[in-house]
Amino acid sequence: MRTALATIPADDYTTWVDMAFAVKHGLGEAGFELWDAWSQTAPNYDARSARATWRSASESGAITLASLFWLAREHGFDLAGSRAFGDRAARSASAHAPIVGADASLERKRRARRAAVARQALSIWNWARPVAPDHPYLARKQIAPLPTLRELEAEELHVLLGYVPKSNDTALLGRVLIVPVRIGHQISTLELIDCEGRKSSLAGGAKAGGWWSVTPEQHRRDACLPVLIAEGVATAVSAWQATGWCTLAALSSGNLSKVATVWRAQHPKDALVILADLGAGFTHAEHAARNVHARLVVPRFASGAHIANQLPTDFNDMAVLEGKEAVGELLRRAVLETPAPTSTDAKASRTQTEGMSFYLTGDADMGSRKTDKGTGADDVRRHAEADRSDGDCASTQPSGTPEEGKQAFTHEPAASSVTETTDDGQHSNHGPRHAMGEPIYGLDAVPTEVKVAAERRFGAVLRMSTPRENGGPYRGEVLNTEHFLVQEVAPRSVVFHAKGKMTFVSDRLRWMDEHHRLNGADVQIVYEGERAKLYPWDRARDQLERAVASLKKSAREMGLDGMDAKLDALHAASWARVKAARAAALAQARSRVDGRGDIDDPQR
């Protein structure tokens, strides 16, 4: 257990807590010394927090010893031979003091083992054949065969390795995809993927901080384009096919942050984009983006979408379901319309992470979208160059300053992507805008009678404000007057929106304004510069989505595996009931006004 635990990084909070539950499940209170020693390998270790976390851990939770060994295998641990690619505790100690005695001998053996595995990996790579287009895994994932991928039969691998490569104790079968993992410019180990998608790697090989590049030479040719970092091979290839940008695969969620950190150190001027998977790996992607100040982008799927009878989770699933054009459009918009994170202070990093998770371009139903001709490679190249402080692609100086970063992220916490409800009940998200500016006008520009009307409607004691440049989205109920919309954005807090330059995004909203039907309506208002745009807003749907997202986060923090799919199913069922109730209410209303109606009411 000690060796398996040593292969797992202790610096991720969620993993750290999960391992407390796992060790306590296996060893009870006697496991504290083992877990605490492992915890001390993290740079952010705190003894008091460790003791408190251990006391809160339960011996009978959802996280067990099986979870520990599964995660250890993901980081290169070989259960059968009790071989691991390295002991993190030993490596941490070696950074601060010379290795002596038995520790020095053990470290030399580990280094020799990793070097031997690297030589074996290179030999197998040279022996392997170019991957054929009909490889079952490539066909199922709809990705192209590449020169950076090769294949061997599982029986050949068995002979070359001297043991049967396994995934969760199941032997790899059939044609096995060979994926070279590089640390620096050298192959350190191989990722092995069989026809069914089962994955393994060479026992004892170094994988932490290593990656697979879709097109290794591309970064030198297109140094000014963004660099995408994905979790898996299929996701990386799909993103590359959709954009043509330099794309890396970290090959595990726990390795995302290490790869991003290494790449940032080597190429400090690059515009990095972390491609997150929905589900268990999202937290790792979020941490990676925050640690290196990268953009964080998640895939978008139509409501009720499934692939192979499961909920889709990554950009490969999105490419299969919606087409690579939809993936390309989403990624290009994320780069073009999102300011590059540069701030180094904790507050800005937190805002960035929260923002990048949701500031995404594209509709909820991406299948009907076409590629925007205005967001091609030339536009992205210019935008990526603009992210650099001096525009010099060959420069190695860090881009931006802390002051610039703070200014770029001083928008309101609620300023997520704008959601418009379309006729079919779906959402379309309009990407993030520029940083919020100064108030467009002062309260003195609002007539006294409008302020009095607001107090009568929303309460005698109100906090009053006016919108800001590029502000919003402001969401809530509105009071409609001749020249202003008064919106309650929080209890007893209102914003006065001038209607002079306001754009109504649908004929329905314009009709409601002209016929005095906006009073009491829930809407959202977004500013592009000083121009306001009025969108519908479904309060019930928004609250339901927020509640489900909060429950998912709590489930992940508590280590409740498999809850995301259940919560998504409950979310879909709840929303279906809401829509059915609304349809019934609408049918009753229409039956009451049948034969009369509003002849000038546009189609709903």
User: How far are the Cα atoms of 77, 82, 280 from residue 72, in angstroms, in the given order?
Assistant: 5, 11, 15
Instruction: Give the confidence band of 371 by pLDDT, cuts at 50, 70, 90.
Output: very low
Which residues, in sequence order, are CB contacts of 47 under 8 Å at separation 6+? Answer: 36
Which of the pair, 117 or 363, is modelled with greater confidence?
117
Q: Is the dihedral of CA 339, 340, 343, 348 positive or negative?
A: positive
Of the ranges 68-72, 154-158, 214-218, 600-604, the best mean pLDDT one: 154-158
pLDDT digit string, tens, across residues 293-303: 899 999 999 88
In percent, how much of the chain has pLDDT > 70? Answer: 74
Measured between alpha carbons, how far is 37 from 57 in angstroms, rounded to an integer?
17
**Residues 460-509 pLDDT 10s:** 778 888 998 888 788 889 998 888 999 998 887 899 999 888 888 777 78
Confirm if 38 and 22 have CB atoms less than 8 A apart.
no
582, 585, 591, 597: CA torsion to nearest 10: -70
79 pLDDT higher than 80: no
Q: Which of 15, 66, 77 is nearest to 254 (CA)?
A: 15
Predicted confidence at residue 535, as pLDDT, reads: 84
More confident residue, 373 or 447: 447
- The tens digit of pLDDT for each residue in 83-106 reads 444 444 444 444 444 444 556 677
CA-to-CA separations, 511 to 417, 516, 602, in angstroms, rounded: 25, 8, 8
Mean pLDDT of the chain: 76
Alpha helices in 129-197 (DSSP H): 136-141, 154-161
Q: Are 295 and 273 in contact (CB under 8 A)?
A: yes
* Domain range list for the chain: 2-94, 107-201, 212-410, 443-540, 542-592
